[in-house]
Structure 1
Amino acid sequence: MTTTDLPAKHYQTASFDASTNNPSACNSTLDDSFAAIDWQAPWLCHLNQLGYISKIIIQLSGLNNEPAQTDKIEHTPDIIAKVLNTALQQQANDLQQSLPQTKPALNNQAKTLRFVSQDALPEGEAYESFIGTTGNIPTRDNLHDLFNGSIWLTFPKTKALLNYYHMLEIEQQGIGSSRGRVRDTITVFDENGAILVTAESSIGEALINFDWQGSLVAPRDKWDKSKQSNNQSQAAVYIFGHALLEKLLQPRKALCAHSIVIHVAQDFFTLSLSERIGHLDQKVTDYMDALLSQPDVTPRKLSPLPILGVPHFWAENANPSFYEDCQVFRSGRRRQK
């Protein structure tokens, strides 16, 4: 699904007031880095509220067809927080659900999520603890935090669970020079993770065992096309890592995700994209809960996946020789059974 496939909606204007909740009549603009986003890229198609967010960011980046009146534009802070809050509310309205919440940790109650200025984070307080105790997600006006917020919109249960485990570890270990194995695993997946969803167990097993032919090449016709979903597909990849999305603004063959494999029934692929993601959010939450509870968990439990090798993600991978680059598609370690 691309932005042009989404149902037409009445979008609010791209200007904002001093509140971090509501668009208003004050002109704002973003720096040139946002103009680099290719909103048609297949690895962005699963993001919730993509149509709204892309339209607003394009306007704020000066890429819309109307000539930008730069001499009349005044930069106001916290633009991304405002965009994300509007998207969050629109999503709740569309689904007829309440706004997502944190997962209670320690003595804290669940808090409704809201994007706020980075300046709201008290000096010396851990980012994750602040989110867990207030529900407020500190957000800067940069690409990294735009993608982070987009993943909160798309996988709110999973993100809340990861934050919950961060809080537990911070309470037990404190903040030191190293995060420890649990927080390291969370951070690697949060920043650079990908989710392989498959109804064919051999595809997932092949990926875990660095069998690129068995996972990506031979079963190519079983892989879903993000812009042309097929009910008969048996595998798809959805990116979770917000830093990985940022890196993909300049795609390189060597970019490698840290992935998990989620097994689903074939009827998963008959669902609409939004239904798939809603179902997947709970599945990934359950998977990560079990993984992070393991006494020997480390980032090595995540499977390397050269992200441009995902079928239909990159035109060049239609040629089987693409996968012959042993510097990218390495033999790697074999998972012990």
Structure 2
Amino acid sequence: MTVHEDVGAFSPDSEWPQDATEWLMLLREEPDDAEIRARFEVWRSASPDHPRDWEEITHTMGVLRRVTPVVEVPVGRQVRRRSVIQRIGLGRGRVGLAAFSLAASVVLLAFLGPDIALRLRADSVTGRQEVRTIVLVDGSQIVLAPQSAIASRFENGRREVRLLKGEALFTVRHDAAHPFTVFARGLTVTDVGTVFDVDAQDAGRVTVAVREGQVSLGGIVSEHSPILLGAGEELSARDGTTETRTVASTEVGTWAQGKLVVHDWSVSAVVARLSPYAPGPIMVYGKTLAAECVTGIYTLTDPQGALRTLADGQNARVVHATPWLTILHR
């Protein structure tokens, strides 16, 4: 008798897992259970997509396991199996104790915050889910996004801020005799009396967008003749290349008011921006889903609600592996 005949075919109402993410959690709980393994093999051979999905999720988890050790939670075998199967079968968005071993490799990353070296360099650092408003000695104001850091220097007529990490919205009190300058990844932003946003969240890229007034850009984008950006203009610099485009000035820095406004962003880009506002990391499982483009307004003060809105629009699901790890997948 073949394995297929022994365990039977899957149906949409089966209590057994229906995708790679859930199978990973169940198999981690019961690696030696012959029936579970047989059911898994049936699922994997049921569609050409399943082997590819399985390879992708196991590769992702393998990378996470190399970041920090996995902590195993000892639980009785029968209790574990019953709990995991019931939770997967009764509610597709829930998992059992298997999630602890799955997510342990990222829990430390979620709560340790910026590394010690960054803290030593910074004057102000924000953690996960933290938005902080800083009033400088000259009356200028900085709103720091979650997981961001700045260092400032106000002496001998200098007004300088270094964005060491993350994103910040600047409202500057203009003083022609003492320019206000922001440094971020080799880019120099000098205020000409304005409200502007500097974003260095994406690796290797820095973006400046102006809500009010005007800024002068130098450094990596222009060593000789500064580039002027006015209200409703945005410049992105990456790998020695720059891109300038027109944006709605009213949408610049809306994250500081708890709103994320996106136009033709990839799902992975939206999730990357939502993640710092959530209790722990959010992962996108599936290259096709990650690359799909969306347009919309998402509420940062309710990141889980925003994620559900994103998932609904893409026919995807949200799995809360633990309070500290969320997975978006189909």
The TM-score range, normalised by the shorter chain, is under 0.3
TM-score by length of 2: 0.25
Higher alpha-carbon Rg: 2
Write 1 or 2 for the structure with the bigger share of strand: 2
TM-score by length of 1: 0.25
The structure with higher relative contact order (CA 8 Å, sep 6+) is 1
